[in-house]
Amino acid sequence: MDPMAVAGDVLVAAVGIATPLALAATGEVLAERSGVVNLGIEGAMLFGALGGAIGATVAGSATGLGVGILAGVLVAALFAAVAIGAGADQIITGTAVTLASVGLTGTIYRQFYGPAGVGLSLPTLSPIPIPFLADLPLIGDALFAQPVTTYLMYILVPLVWYLLFRTRPGLAVRAVGEDPTAARAAGVSVRLTRAWAVLAGGALAGLAGATLVLAQVGTFTERMTAGRGFIAIAIVVLGRWNPVGAGLAALLFGLATALQFALQAAGLDVPYQFFLMLPYLLTLFALAGAVGRGQAPAALGKSEG
Amino acid sequence: MRSNLRALGIGAAALLIGLFLLAVGLELAGYDAGAALAALWDGAFGSWRAFTGATLVRAVPLILIGLGFALALRGGALNIGAEGQFYAGAIAAAWVGVHAGGWPAWVALPAVALAGLAAGALWMLLPVILKLRFGVLEVITTLLLNFVAEALVSFMVQGPMQEPSGIYPQSAPIVEAARLPFLFGSRLHAGFVVALLVALALAWVFARTWWGFRLRALGEGPRAAEVSGRVRAGRMLAVALLWSGALAGLAGAFEVSGVSYALYQNLSPGYGFTAIGVALLARLRPSAIVLTGVVFAALEAGAGAMQRDAGIPAVAVYVVEGVVILVLLLGDAAARRQASRRAVPVVDGSP
């Protein structure tokens, strides 16, 4: 097989895999910069996926993306009510929200698509090649002939970066995450700021879930996010709480996942399960190198009583 | 004592709210909620057979993993990778159990259990090192290793440990001597007794030992504990986390030597995550974990019956579990607010 063609395929797959992860991680960057760890984004993503599937079944892909975003916001609102509103432990709240989401999506899905819960097949969003750019060798197809959700990701990642680091609301978010007491003294509402950040994060997680269904898999299955929300949280750490860093880390994870296609094409006699492990192990060791330099928001994970 | 009763009351209320919401949801979705709850009850408590063979059998891993989760969290560490440690323990136990031919049971059984304990602790070693040496949060590392463990089981049952005919993705059966004996002539294996003993031991460690006291001090304020010089935070946390992993590994070993008799993929229906709810609902108290472990096991056992008899997806019980935890958190928050209102403010704090 032509090595250039294989490399091109790997890159196309890598960007596809990275897209939902980058979206969810960017949302989690927002939440964590405000001092909130939201493990519930796994649940928000799952609901986004279900919303995407239902919306697309009823009224097409664009509606699917919208319903997915809305579903993610609703899940984030539940998390925010308990973790921010009542000041409960964030990690435990997130775990509970994800648990409930697994149950609810599984039940609603069967309700919508029959007791067997099979047979749902949605047309996936087709790639839109961007003139000239898509013709670039090697990276053209990977970066510039992707479904609309990938282009949304290209826009949203820098947008969130700009919002966080170049605007007043962004400054408020970071202030609340670093030193809530000082932020409050400066007239910023800690809870309100955190709630907005978490809801925006939920919207992005919902979009990520819908992307998974509408741009990649083309169907919904029980627990289909399979831990991608949790991976997104690891990616946030890897990207040092910076949207652009998280985007790049997501790309790295996507590349490590997609690499198995190339290695299998190369006819290596390595069991495929080791390729399945690769991205997770790589993330583990990358974390060891990336963390420990004091980049985490100082008030991360601490509830406001 | 009064606080125990109060906690029991709040827990029961949370459970009832969870079940009530499930019933309302099922009615709205057009199911017969009465029939569903009846099936749930029957599957969990309907007969001695169901209670021992379905509920209590599922309680064993939930109690063991819940105890391990509580142990780590007492020291302030979150182990959400029990699923991975469970699988590590199951792999090691199955390997020993398959190769224990000719061993007497009094050698084979402890060997299987020890293999599970050791493998679970070993699976925790990397997160411990990454936390202490590099400051990587154990929440993330233990979680990432779940995926690695699942891939490893998949590799084992299709590779080096696959049964001799090479057709099915499972290991060969473990030898008779490595299978746990049953209790009261039911399908409940002796691992249940071990789980109870571990709960007793942990209750003693938490309440009566200097180590347990220091662990708690560490969990409640790592800085203070370390500055006071009496607690070597890193080392204590490492020990707590490794035992946490070991107990999850033991749960995996018991699942193999008491229930499945072979290594399979999907051996755990998510025990590692459900057990978090078990430990939290019990407020990390070992004796209460036994109780909540049985309650959540009953939900899981009943879920199967509910799906069979009333056509309701078994995952619906996760809604109950999630709601129970959320209600509990809200109850705690309300109690805290009440307490702070009652307290006399020492300093006029910010609003």
What pLDDT was estimated at residue B133? 86
Binned at pLDDT 50, 70 and 90, residue B241 comes out as: very high
What pLDDT was estimated at residue B227? 58
Distance of residue B137 Cα from the nearest chain A Cα, in angstroms: 9
Helix, strand, or coil here: A137? Answer: coil
B137 touches chain A (CB under 8 A): yes
**Would you call B13 exposed, middle or buried from its count of C-beta atoms within 10 A (0-12, 13-18, 19+)?**
middle
- Residues of chain A in contact with residue B320, where contact means CB-CB under 8 angstroms, are 103
Lowest mean pLDDT among A3-12, B3-12, B78-87: B3-12
Mean per-residue pLDDT of chain B: 88
Whether B329 sits inside 8 A of A100 (CB atoms) is: no
What CATH number was assigned to the domain covering residues A3-290?
A: 1.10.3470.10
Nearest residue, CB atoms, B276 vs list A95, A289, A305: A95
Nearest residue, CB atoms, B330 vs list A88, A97, A102: A88
Looking at the predicted structure, is the pLDDT value of residue B169 above 80? yes
Looking at the predicted structure, is the pLDDT value of residue B348 above 50? no
What pLDDT was estimated at residue B230? 55
Helix, strand, or coil here: A248? Answer: helix
What pLDDT was estimated at residue A116? 56
Whether A99 sits inside 8 A of B321 (CB atoms) is: yes
Binned at pLDDT 50, 70 and 90, residue B151 comes out as: very high
* Cα A100 → chain centroid: 19
Looking at the predicted structure, is the pLDDT value of residue B350 above 50? no
In sequence order, what are the residues at sequence separation of 6 or more whose Cβ sits closer than 8 angstroms to the Cβ of residue A250?
A18, A19, A21, A22, A25, A232, A235, A239
- In three state form, how does the secondary structure of B271-312 look? HHHHHHHHHHHCCCCHHHHHHHHHHHHHHHHHHHHHHHHHCC
DSSP letter at A189 equals: -
Chains A–B, number of C-beta pairs less than 8 Å apart: 148
Percent of chain A with pLDDT over 90: 50
Whether B315 sits inside 8 A of A93 (CB atoms) is: no
Shortest CA distance from B144: residue in chain A = A280
What pLDDT was estimated at residue B329? 87
Helix, strand, or coil here: B245? Answer: helix
Distance of residue B267 Cα from the nearest chain A Cα, in angstroms: 16
- Residues of chain B in contact with residue A280, where contact means CB-CB under 8 angstroms, are 144-145, 147-148
What pLDDT was estimated at residue A118? 54
Closest CA to B11 of B340, B349, B327: B327
What pLDDT was estimated at residue B223? 60
Nearest residue, CB atoms, A86 vs list B312, B313, B330: B330
DSSP letter string over B45-90?
HSSHHHIIIIIIHHHHHHHHHHHHHHHHHHTT-----HHHHHHHHH
- The tokens for B142 are 């233990």
Distance of residue B222 Cα from the nearest chain A Cα, in angstroms: 14
Looking at the predicted structure, is the pLDDT value of residue A32 above 90? yes
B183 touches chain A (CB under 8 A): no
* Domain spans of chain B, in order of start: 53-298
Mean pLDDT value of segment B125-149: 90
Shortest CA distance from A98: residue in chain B = B322
Whether A107 sits inside 8 A of B321 (CB atoms) is: no
More confident residue, B302 or B11: B302
* Domain spans of chain A, in order of start: 3-290
Test the A interface: residue of B129, B265, B283, B318 with most A CBs within 10 Å: B318
> Angle at which helices B105-134 and A272-290 pack, to 10 degrees?
40
Global pTM exceeds 0.80: yes
What pLDDT was estimated at residue B346? 45
Whether A103 sits inside 8 A of B152 (CB atoms) is: no
Nearest residue, CB atoms, B152 vs list A100, A273, A305: A273
Looking at the predicted structure, is the pLDDT value of residue B186 above 50? yes
* Cα A122 → chain centroid: 21
- Residues of chain B in contact with residue A82, where contact means CB-CB under 8 angstroms, are 326, 329-330, 333
Binned at pLDDT 50, 70 and 90, residue B231 comes out as: low
Nearest residue, CB atoms, A96 vs list B141, B146, B325: B325
